[in-house]
Structure formats: structure tokens, C-alpha cells
Chains A and B, each alone.
Chain A
Amino acid sequence: MELPPEFAAEIDEVITHYPVSKRSASLPLLHLFQEKFGFISDEAILWIADKLELQPINILELVTFYPMFRRKPAGKHHIRVCRTLSCAMGGGYELFEHFCRKTGIHPHLEHAGGVNGHGDPISVSADGKYSIEFVECLASCGTAPVCMINDDFYEGVTHGEASALLEKYP
């Protein structure tokens, strides 16, 4: 796997944050790869393992353990809706279904990303523009229901605002 030099430099810089053990850099490196390529490929796992002098399984087991990492590409814009109690009481399930309807993703939880709607595999709309995931508590329970689109956080989202958000992320 050939990496652009500035990306490789960024990786080397991150590894210096862990002077005691390079292995500690595995999570940050996975984040960098996912930000850069959208998902964690087999090649990425091999490359990171090689870089940190680990076995590939040491990296794969992280990808399968931590819910934020995915092994398939998400949509161009990735939507995360909070599922947990305070948001659910404030309309989180309805918001999730609204996003599904608007993006043409099957709203049935079992189809919207595997068991419980938690994104494995990620469910992507037919045009590839959006993917949606039902996630656990995003820690803003007082402003339910909340969601994230890519890295941006939105709180107290009404259905009207949700539709407007989709236009903001074409």
C-alpha cells in the first residue's frame, strides 16, 4: 500500500505521542485511515500492523471491537442518530425513520445496518450519498433528539430541520 508522503508524515508524528509503546498508536492510526479512505481495508490493516510491528490480528480485533470503525465504505455523508433512552423519549426513533425515508434507506431496523440497527454492515442509500447508523448515547441528552452528520453535531433536531440538513449535505 502506497501512502501519500504528507499522510505518512502525519502517521509518523502521531506515533511520537506514544514514546513508551508504539502499539498505543493503533487506534489513532485507524482513525487516520478511516478519515482518509472512508473505511478500513484489509490492506490498511496489514499496513498498520507492519508499521507498528504487530500481527494483523492485533489490528483486525480492534476494527471488529470498536463500533466506529467500518470495513466497508459508508455513504458520502454519514448520519448517526442517537438511539439511547433520553433521545428515544424525545423522538430519536422517529428521527431515525425520518432520515431513512428521506434518503431511501430501508427504515426497518434489521435492514438499517444489521442487528439493532447498529451499523454493521453500514446501510448506504442507493445513490451512495448517505449512510445511516443508529448509535448509542452521544452525550447530549438534554437536547434530545440529537444526531451527527459526518463530524458535525446537531441537537434538538425536528423533522423539518432534518430535511433541511440533508439539503445542506448534498
Chain B
Amino acid sequence: MPSPLRQPHPRETRMIFKNIDRPGWKNDIETYLADGGYEEMKKAFTMAPVDIVNEVKTSGLRGRGGAGFPCGMKWGFVKQDGPKPNYIIVNADESEPGTFKDRYILHQDPHQLLEGVIISAWALNVHLAYIYIRGEFPDAARIMERSIAEAKAKGFVGKNVLGKNFDLDIYVHRGAGAYICGEETGLIESLEGKRAYPRIKPPYFPAVLGLYQCPTIVNNVETLCHIKHIIRMGGAEYAKLGRPNNTGTRIVCVSGDVVSPGYFEIELGAVTFGELINDFCGGMKPGRKLKAVIPGGSSAKVLRAGEAYKIKEKAGDGTMVEKQIGLDDIPLDFDSLAAVGSMAGSGGIIVMDDSRDMVWVLNNINSFYAHESCGQCTPCREGSLWMKKITDRIVAGGGVERDPAVLKSVADNIAGKTICAFGEACSWPTQSFLAKFPEEFQAKSKKPLPPPMPPEYVAEEVVEHETVQTVQGARGAGIMAAAAGR
């Protein structure tokens, strides 16, 4: 069902999303050119590449994909005249649950992204760029391919871009349903035609040893769209948007139990959770109260309503003072969310009301990570499935007293012990749900510990019998049976 065009909220600052849901807007190049498109690209081509990198550094732009790494610093690692070719990869593998911003840029404003890629290619002396689009966006891949062909016909891509001695090829590469391809080194492996097993850092920092062991910049779709606006406004002017160290605008995606979920482009730090939920999203569903918020994609640590959070704020005289605030008053920016113990992540905000069972929610998240672990590192491959099985059991009513402690111990033994950040991503939900809602887990984990194996078996019998019936409910349908007989 095509969604109706939605009006931007009056408090939004639409820059990246200017053309999203715009009446009469089409995603072809003529519409984009008529609206002043590709002007910043022309301007950028009159600038020295190193000046563009400096403008991006001045702008303070932080990556919008999840980690919030300063974009200019990342670019600074790449030499314009190094011995190896440089590459750019656009990370359009949007797959963090709760995030749905790049989808709209790819479908409705593909040329804004292309312009960002072309400017970045000029700045970093790149002659080959790939747009890695997740497999579940077949339309987006076709739209991007058509847009690249349109840009090629205008001389913006291909040989001698804008008549300069500068060649640039851009190709679309489709993923095939693996979440781990959103991790930049996993994405690079995938683009090399392999399983998306992330590489260990160091030494495989993409800016040094990336695609085909050459310097590679992997940037999120939204991040690259900002480049165009940095060129338009200048880095210093752009940095005035938002707050220090949290500059610019960002798109937040709200889903879950609010009256009207959706996407909003806001200045960083200008809006609080309370305003976002009550003002932008029409509040909670009738008769319901806010219970919890996952602020930056499903791997971000959950925040509980009604709790007091401490953040540091600059007082009038320049000193830092600590302030206690509620969930409603937390401003949406990178640093504030880090200060309250979570993260801004990918901007995917999942809101839950008081009807939600937190064990069920965690079980859903655990199922996701158990399915998506790439299987390279043992703690994550095994641990993510263990966590899912334990929450499966608790949800089905078979939770034993020890389960919350075992869950925590499994989660604690994944984070920090894996090659990539997936280890943290899959253990943070479990750790934070257990810490914020311990009573719900305890209430559902009441059964005494069952014996590990029927006592009548002795070791010899275990060897003789091919299969040994262990406790009912060890797996699958048994859980349901155990729950029914409770």
C-alpha cells in the first residue's frame, strides 16, 4: 500500500530529507537538476581536494551509520596520492532493526546520494566506487542503477567527469540478506565475493587496508548526503547546526507503540525524547504509558521510563555541572545518549508501552542476533544462540531460577571477545534488559533447577544407548509441552 505523503513536522530541519514526500517530486535527474541539483558538485570540482577534506573536518560531521565516528578524521587517513588506488563504498546495507532512513533516500532522492559520492570521490582521488545495497531492496538497486546511467549521460560519471582529467565509475552491488554486511569490514569481504566475515582491526582498518587491500572509505548513505550540504554551506557554517561535537541534522526513525511513527530530520540535540514522542509522534497509544525506549537501533542499550539519568551540562560560567534528568528530557544527540549509558547508533528509536513484556521483547531481539551472527567467533556464534534459547524457555514458561544469572554471564562473556562489534551488539540488549527490568525476568524464572539427566542412567548406559532422553523441554516442541503442563 503506498503511504500517503506526509507533511514534515514544523520543528524539523529538512536538509537531507528535503525532497522526501515532496509533492510533485520525481526521482529522475531532470527533476533534481531543475531543483538546483549537482550545483555543489560543480562547486566542489573548482576546489582543491584537500580543501574539501578540511571542510568536512571543520564541519564536525559524525558518521550516521551507527558508530558516530568523525567523518573528516576517517577521510584524513586516506592519502590523495598514495601508491595504491583509493575506493569509496557506500554502505546502503541498512539492516539495524528500527532504522529506516536510507530506504527513502535510495528510493526517492538517489541523485542526492550520487552527488555526495561524486564529491567525495573527487576529494579522495577515487576512480571506482561501489554502492552496496542490501538484497531486500531490489527496487532501490534498480533506481540507483538507472540514476548512475542518467548521471553518466550528463557527464557526471564515467570518463573525464565535468571535462576534467578525472575518471569515475560507480557500480551498484547487491547484498543477499546478511545483517553482518553492515559492518564495514564484513561488507568489504562480501564485496570481494566471500562470506561476510569481518576482519580484525588492527591491521585491517579500511582506510588503510580495505577493499582489495587498498585504502577504502566506507560511509553510510546519510553521511555521504551530508557532504553536499557541507560544500553548500561551508564547514564552519554547517558546524553551527546542532551542538558542539554533535553537529548537523540527523534523521531519527521512530517505530513501536506511538500514535504516528515515522522519520524526522532534526537538528542534533534540539529535541528531547519527550518532545519526540509526544509532539512529533502524537504521543503513546490511547490509555498507554511509556515503558521503555531503545534509542539507536536494536543493539543500543534500553532506557527505562521513570528512571533518573545523569548528564553533564555546561553552566553559564563555562563549568560542567552534573544534572539529573528523566527519560523525557534526554536530548537526542550522540554525546547525551552516550552519557546516559546507551548510544545514538543508527537513529532507530523503538518505543515500548506498558503492555509490553520485556522478556518477550528481549527474546525477539535475541532471535535476530542468533540468526544473524556470522559464525566466525565462537563466543558470539554460540552465545547468541544460547541467549535466544534461554529467553525462548522463559517466554514459554519454563524459566528456571538460575536463568537471569546465566543469561547475564553468557552476555558478559561475548562482549569484547569477538573480532567485530557484533559481539557487543548482541550482548548489550541482554545486559541492559536484565539490568533495567530485573523483576520481570525473575518473575518468569521461578522453576527449580531440573536434574541434568535422569538419575537412573549410569555412564555405561550413556555409551551404549545411541540417544539419551534428557529433561523434557530441552528443545523445540518440548518447551511448548513443558509450558502447557505448568
* Binding stretch for chain B, among A2-10, A95-103, A124-132, A151-159: A151-159
B74 within 8 A of A: no
Which of B178, B195, B256, B371 lies in contact with A86, CB distance below 8 A? B256
Which of A58, A141, A157 lies in contact with B253, CB distance below 8 A? A141
B365 within 8 A of A: yes
> Using a Cβ cutoff of 8 Å, how many contacts connect chains A and B?
149
Closest residue of chain B to A29 (Cβ to Cβ) is B193
Contact B298 A85 (CB under 8 A): yes
- Map CB proximity to A onto B152-176 as digits: 1 under 8 Å, 0 otherwise: 0000000000000000000101111
Contact B139 A86 (CB under 8 A): no
A166 within 8 A of B: no
- Map CB proximity to A onto B235-274 as digits: 1 under 8 Å, 0 otherwise: 0000000000000000001111100011100000000000
Interface set, chain B 21-49, CB cutoff 8 A to A: none
Instruction: Report the contact-size class of chain A (Cβ under 8 Å from the partner).
Output: 35 or more
Question: CA–CA, A148 to B298, complex, Å?
Answer: 22
Question: CA–CA, A18 to B95, complex, Å?
Answer: 25
Min CB–CB distance A114 → chain B (angstroms): 11
Contact B257 A19 (CB under 8 A): no
Q: Please indicate the chain A residues that have their CB under 8 angstroms from the CB of B99 in the complex.
A: 139, 141
Interface set, chain B 67-93, CB cutoff 8 A to A: none
A42 within 8 A of B: no
Closest residue of chain B to A108 (Cβ to Cβ) is B477
Q: Please indicate the chain A residues that have their CB under 8 angstroms from the CB of B178 in the complex.
A: 65-67
Q: Please indicate the chain A residues that have their CB under 8 angstroms from the CB of B367 in the complex.
A: 83, 116
Closest residue of chain B to A140 (Cβ to Cβ) is B100
Q: Please indicate the chain A residues that have their CB under 8 angstroms from the CB of B476 in the complex.
A: 110
Interface set, chain A 128-170, CB cutoff 8 A to B: 135-144, 148, 151, 153-157, 161
Contact A139 B103 (CB under 8 A): yes
Contact A24 B191 (CB under 8 A): yes
Question: CA–CA, A65 to B192, complex, Å?
Answer: 15
Contact A68 B1 (CB under 8 A): no
- Map CB proximity to A onto B366-397 as digits: 1 under 8 Å, 0 otherwise: 01101110100000000000000000000000
Interface set, chain A 67-90, CB cutoff 8 A to B: 67-69, 80, 83-86, 88-90
Contact A89 B257 (CB under 8 A): yes
Q: Please indicate the chain B residues that have their CB under 8 angstroms from the CB of A154 in the complex.
A: 1
B482 within 8 A of A: no
Q: Please indicate the chain A residues that have their CB under 8 angstroms from the CB of B139 in the complex.
A: 151, 153
Question: CA–CA, A61 to B375, complex, Å?
Answer: 13
Q: Please indicate the chain A residues that have their CB under 8 angstroms from the CB of B261 in the complex.
A: 141-144
Question: CA–CA, A20 to B95, complex, Å?
Answer: 28
Contact A84 B171 (CB under 8 A): no
Min CB–CB distance A98 → chain B (angstroms): 16
* Binding stretch for chain A, among B55-63, B128-136, B199-207: B128-136
- Map CB proximity to B onto A107-123 as digits: 1 under 8 Å, 0 otherwise: 00010000010100000
Question: CA–CA, A74 to B427, complex, Å?
Answer: 34
Contact B136 A139 (CB under 8 A): yes
Interface set, chain A 11-25, CB cutoff 8 A to B: 17-21, 23-25
Question: CA–CA, A136 to B368, complex, Å?
Answer: 7
Q: Please indicate the chain A residues that have their CB under 8 angstroms from the CB of B374 in the complex.
A: 65
Q: Please indicate the chain A residues that have their CB under 8 angstroms from the CB of B134 in the complex.
A: 139
Q: Please indicate the chain B residues that have their CB under 8 angstroms from the CB of A84 in the complex.
A: 97, 298, 364, 368
Contact A88 B364 (CB under 8 A): yes
Min CB–CB distance B383 → chain A (angstroms): 17
Question: CA–CA, A80 to B370, complex, Å?
Answer: 19
- With A86-B256, A153-B139 as contacts: A142 and B177 at CB distance below 8 Å: no
Closest residue of chain B to A52 (Cβ to Cβ) is B193
Q: Please indicate the chain A residues that have their CB under 8 angstroms from the CB of B138 in the complex.
A: 151
Q: Please indicate the chain A residues that have their CB under 8 angstroms from the CB of B171 in the complex.
A: 17-18
Contact B176 A139 (CB under 8 A): no
Q: Please indicate the chain A residues that have their CB under 8 angstroms from the CB of B255 in the complex.
A: 86, 90, 141-142, 144
Which of B173, B176, B256 lies in contact with A68, CB distance below 8 A? B176
Question: CA–CA, A6 to B256, complex, Å?
Answer: 47
- Which A-B residue pairs are the 5 nearest by beta carbons? A66-B176, A141-B255, A68-B177, A23-B193, A67-B177
- Residue pairs across A and B with Cβ atoms less than 8 A apart, 16 shown, are A24-B191, A24-B192, A83-B368, A85-B361, A86-B350, A89-B257, A89-B356, A110-B477, A116-B371, A136-B95, A137-B368, A140-B100, A140-B103, A142-B253, A151-B138, A156-B3
Q: Give 8 new A-B contacts, CB below 8 A, not counting A27-B193, A65-B374, A68-B135.
A: A25-B193, A31-B135, A66-B175, A84-B298, A116-B371, A139-B136, A141-B97, A151-B139
Residues of chain B touching chain A, judged by Cβ–Cβ distance below 8 Å, are 1, 3, 94-100, 102-103, 128, 134-139, 171, 173-179, 190-196, 212, 253-257, 261-263, 298, 348, 350, 352, 356, 361, 364-365, 367-368, 370-372, 374, 476-477
